[in-house]
């Protein structure tokens, strides 16, 4: 796995993660305060949706940049490894 310098998209992802972290802290507070269960579940669903959306954006960026770069590099081993990583990720997502 290659590590890259933080670009604009990574900074946006960190901002989104910080918002999600805040939502999770809010859910913890709701549980502590014994708030109405349906309200708690609604917030959990919102966090799951936010995480799913972020996951999609990260996978999309990976395809647009990392996978494209690996395939364009003409390094067959790198390209095969990158495609294999995507296949493994998709297999895990289907389960």
Joined together, the tokens standing for residue 88 give 């493994």
Domain of 31 in residue numbering reads as: 10-94
Asked whether the beta carbons of 40 and 31 are under 8 A apart, the reply is yes
Q: Label residue 6 by pLDDT band (50, 70, 90).
A: low
What is the rounded CA–CA span in Å between residue 93 and residue 43? 23
End-to-end CA distance of the chain: 23
Residue 28 predicted with pLDDT over 90: yes
Q: Label residue 9 by pLDDT band (50, 70, 90).
A: confident
pLDDT exceeding 70 applies to what percent of the chain? 94
The tally of domains found in the chain comes to 1
pLDDT exceeding 90 applies to what percent of the chain? 62
67 in a domain, yes or no? yes
Joined together, the tokens standing for residue 2 give 């290659």
Residues 6 or more apart whose Cβ sits within 8 Å of residue 87: none
Q: Label residue 66 by pLDDT band (50, 70, 90).
A: confident
81 in a domain, yes or no? yes
We report the CATH number of the domain holding residue 84 as: 1.20.58.1000
Residue 72 predicted with pLDDT over 60: yes
Asked whether the beta carbons of 59 and 89 are under 8 A apart, the reply is yes
What is the rounded CA–CA span in Å between residue 15 and residue 54? 11
2 in a domain, yes or no? no
53 in a domain, yes or no? yes
54 in a domain, yes or no? yes
Can you tell me which residue has the tokens 């502590």? Answer: 32
3 in a domain, yes or no? no
């Amino acid at each position: 796995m290659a590590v890259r310098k933080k670009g604009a998209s990574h900074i946006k992802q960190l901002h989104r993660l910080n918002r999600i972290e805040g939502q999770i802290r809010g859910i913890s507070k709701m549980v502590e305060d014994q708030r109405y269960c349906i309200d708690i579940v609604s917030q959990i669903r919102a966090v799951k949706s936010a995480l799913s959306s972020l996951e999609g954006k990260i996978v999309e960026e990976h395809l647009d940049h990392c996978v494209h770069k690996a395939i364009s590099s003409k390094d067959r081993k790198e390209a095969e490894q990158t495609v294999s990583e995507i296949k493994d990720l998709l297999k895990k997502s289907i389960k």
